[in-house]
Amino acid sequence: MSPNRNNSYFKFNEMRENILSRLENELPTNLSYHDINHTLAVEKAALKLGEMENLSEEDFLILRTAILYHDAGYVVQYTDNEKFAKEMVRKDLPEFGYSNEQIQKILNIIHSTQRQTTSASHLDELMSDCDHDYFGRNNYTKIAQKLRDELAIYGTSFTDLEWVDFQLAYVEGRHKYLTKSALELLDGEKKLRIQELKNQRLTLL
């Protein structure tokens, strides 16, 4: 589906332009990972995985709306940012013609991105898979370094060995792709990233 396709549900294109402008202008400049490029990369993943999962047009656009807002709370503060993203959704989306039911679906998807929260719907699962699609891409190391740099700025630093262990604990220990499409498209490459991290760990011992 084209990013600029018109639709009869709500003013998606106007909403998208508005929130991307806010992200570009209001996100802290020291966010090296949770920046506008991350949001656009997650949306790009949704275009591919959503198509493979045969989403309806409405669900496709609801998922993309949630993606565009899921890190918008960082314009307010770093911790508990999802709370502020949801407040922005409630305030902004009625102005673009979203119904209460559609807004609730978007809020549920954003809620599913919080730590220790289990995905409860197909759209939640797609949100998780899109947010972590770089685990299955060959530029994983570069993107992960951006997260390490950002965490250091906000008070959490790692030695090289600690950083490898931190990544393995999440990528191998906690993370799972949830949709058939992500498992097919990304999981094999993710296994290669895990082996690369294990090999790197051996060199650091």
CA dihedral 56, 58, 60, 61 (to 10 degrees): 170
pLDDT in tens, 121-136: 999 999 999 999 999 9
CB count within 10 Å of CB 128 equals 22
Q: Are 4 and 13 within 8 A, CB to CB? A: yes
pLDDT in tens, 3-59: 444 444 689 999 999 999 999 999 999 999 999 999 999 999 999 999 999 999 999
CA dihedral 181, 42, 132, 139 (to 10 degrees): 100
- Phi, psi for residue 128 in degrees, rounded to 5: -60, -45
pTM of the shown model:
0.92
Q: Does domain 1-117 bear CATH number 1.10.3210.10? A: yes
d(CA 69, CA 46): 14
- Which residue spans of the chain are classified as CATH 1.10.3210.10? 1-117
